[in-house]
């Protein structure tokens, strides 16, 4: 019975693969030989890759396909898929996505180890292409490599200068102003229903924006509300691109082609934001150079933009900063503003559910 089935299978499959051995001349024979050797070599390399992947001291995890790894099996709901994997492989597991090896932790204790105890080891991740574009080539703190001198200098500048007690005290009036605005708004609505959650949320965002460039003159057409409106036009698109999957992040050798146009789209948003930054910085530099209309000599107030510009002009400081780095740091604060927005939205949703 088995011999009969094998005979039938052989005769049915012969027409499909016999073309491989039928050649008409020596040139076809040479091409067939080269192609056969290439296929065998690829199969051997794939076997060696799978063998090395399984024998290295990596956490357990699912095996994937050649080249693409486990990428085709992830699906859209990553949190659900990773939860299923954690139940099967444990609180830490690894999986190959394209040419990148990923390690996933699903335990609070392991998260503490990764983000605190071994922070220097795990912080040096590859920057996504979209994030690299919007941060001026990784010139900020969020996505730059923490092992580089640039990251250390930016961190030192941010901690010792921008976020120091003296600088925070200089920008205190901007925070006080926004809080007073909220209190006055609540006072004017006595006897009416007031959404405190929404008002607190708007106040948080306004506080961050005021601390960034609160000294900008509203009568120049570049006040905080005007700037805020312009950023609202693109900030949701920027963060949507930052969270969107990009095939070039998993296969870096495809980044030159930009198949999903992530780089192109983010570059357009960067150009828009860069124009806003240029206008703000240019007007502030002109205001600072004018003795009549000096933007920062009002009760000793200083916003973060003014502090950064003063650091740029200082030559005797151990850490220097240029215009590109100033823009990148301003982008960091905008990321922080979005983080505040996200947390507030989560709180509002949880409050509604409860």
- Check which CATH number belongs to the domain holding 273 and give it: 1.10.630.10
Average pLDDT over residues 157-166: 82
| pLDDT level of residue 338 (50, 70, 90 thresholds) | low
**Predicted structure pTM score:** 0.74
Q: Is pLDDT of 161 > 70? A: yes
Is 111 domain-assigned? yes
Same domain, 166 and 287: yes
Report CA 275 to chain centroid distance, whole Å: 21
Is 76 domain-assigned? yes
Is 11 domain-assigned? no
Same domain, 142 and 34: no
What CA–CA distance (Å, rounded) separates 228 from 101? 39
Same domain, 35 and 156: no
Same domain, 203 and 333: yes
Is 9 domain-assigned? no
Same domain, 109 and 236: no
Strand partners, 69: 65, 97
DSSP state of 128: P
Q: What pLDDT, on the 0 to 100 scale, is given for residue 239? A: 85
Domain count, the chain: 3
- Choose between 63 and 19: higher pLDDT: 63
Closest CA to 231 of 276, 283, 178: 276
Q: What pLDDT, on the 0 to 100 scale, is given for residue 19? A: 45
Is 6 domain-assigned? no
Cα 214–220–226 angle (5° rounding)? 60
Same domain, 78 and 136: no
- Min mean pLDDT across 91-100, 265-274, 313-322 is at 313-322
Q: What pLDDT, on the 0 to 100 scale, is given for residue 47? A: 65
| pLDDT level of residue 129 (50, 70, 90 thresholds) | very high
- Min mean pLDDT across 125-134, 140-149, 217-226, 297-306 is at 217-226
Residues 76, 65 contacting (CB under 8 angstroms) = no
Same domain, 99 and 202: no
**Tens-place pLDDT, residues 190-203:** 889 888 777 877 78
| pLDDT level of residue 164 (50, 70, 90 thresholds) | confident
| pLDDT level of residue 26 (50, 70, 90 thresholds) | low
In this structure, the number of other CB atoms found within 10 A of the CB of residue 49 comes to: 13
Same domain, 79 and 151: no
For residue 102, the SS3 value is: strand
Question: Up-side HSE of residue 229: CA atoms within 13 Å toward CB?
Answer: 5
Q: What pLDDT, on the 0 to 100 scale, is given for residue 223? A: 52
Q: Is pLDDT of 219 > 50? A: no
Same domain, 51 and 143: no
Which positions ≥6 away from 167 have C-beta within 8 Å? Answer: 161, 302, 304, 307
What CA–CA distance (Å, rounded) separates 211 from 168? 9
Same domain, 27 and 145: no
Closest CA to 162 of 324, 305, 317: 305
Average pLDDT over residues 40-57: 66
| pLDDT level of residue 17 (50, 70, 90 thresholds) | very low
Residues 186, 194 contacting (CB under 8 angstroms) = yes
Which positions ≥6 away from 323 have C-beta within 8 Å? Answer: 281, 312
Q: What pLDDT, on the 0 to 100 scale, is given for residue 16? A: 45
Same domain, 31 and 92: no
Q: What does the block give as tokens for 327?
A: 């823009």
Q: What pLDDT, on the 0 to 100 scale, is given for residue 124? A: 73
Same domain, 301 and 345: yes
- Of the chain, the percentage scoring pLDDT greater than 70 comes to 75
Is 8 domain-assigned? no
Structural domain containing residue 310: 131-353
Say what the alpha-carbon torsion angle 267, 273, 276, 282 is, to the nearest 10 degrees. Answer: -60
For residue 103, the SS3 value is: strand
**Which of 145-149, 325-329, 342-346 holds the top average pLDDT?**
325-329
What CA–CA distance (Å, rounded) separates 144 from 141? 6
- Please, what is the average pLDDT of the chain? 79
């Amino acid at each position: 019975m088995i011999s009969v089935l094998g005979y039938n299978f052989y005769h049915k499959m012969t027409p499909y693969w016999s073309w491989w051995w039928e050649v008409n001349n020596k040139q076809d024979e040479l091409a067939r030989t080269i192609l056969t050797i290439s296929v065998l070599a690829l199969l051997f390399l794939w076997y060696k890759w799978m063998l090395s992947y399984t024998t290295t001291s990596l956490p357990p995890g699912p095996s994937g396909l050649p080249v693409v790894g486990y990428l085709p099996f992830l699906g859209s709901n990553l949190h659900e898929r990773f939860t299923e994997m954690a139940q099967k492989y444990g609180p830490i597991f690894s999986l190959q996505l394209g040419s990148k090896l990923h390690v996933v932790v699903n335990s609070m204790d392991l998260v503490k180890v990764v983000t605190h105890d071994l922070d220097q080891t795990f912080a040096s991740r590859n920057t996504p292409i979209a994030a690299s574009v919007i941060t001026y080539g990784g010139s900020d703190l969020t996505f730059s490599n923490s092992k580089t001198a640039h990251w250390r200098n930016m961190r030192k500048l941010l901690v010792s200068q921008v976020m120091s007690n003296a600088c925070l005290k200089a920008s205190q009036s901007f925070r006080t102003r926004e809080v007073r605005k909220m209190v006055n708004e609540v006072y004017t609505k006595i006897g009416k229903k007031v959404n405190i959650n929404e008002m607190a949320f708007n106040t948080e965002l306004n506080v961050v924006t005021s601390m960034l460039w609160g000294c900008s003159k509203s009568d120049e057409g570049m006040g905080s509300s005007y700037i805020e409106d312009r950023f609202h036009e693109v900030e949701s698109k920027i963060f949507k691109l930052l969270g969107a999957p990009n095939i070039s992040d998993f296969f870096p050798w495809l980044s030159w082609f930009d198949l999903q146009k992530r780089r192109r789209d983010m570059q357009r948003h960067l150009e828009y934001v860069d124009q806003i930054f240029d206008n703000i910085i240019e007007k502030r530099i002109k205001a600072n150079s004018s003795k009549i209309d000096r933007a920062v000599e009002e009760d000793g107030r200083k916003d973060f933009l003014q502090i950064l510009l003063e650091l740029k002009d200082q030559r005797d400081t151990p850490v220097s900063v240029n215009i590109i780095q100033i823009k990148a740091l301003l982008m960091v604060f905008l990321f922080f503003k979005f983080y505040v927005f996200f947390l507030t939205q989560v709180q509002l949703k949880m409050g509604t559910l409860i």
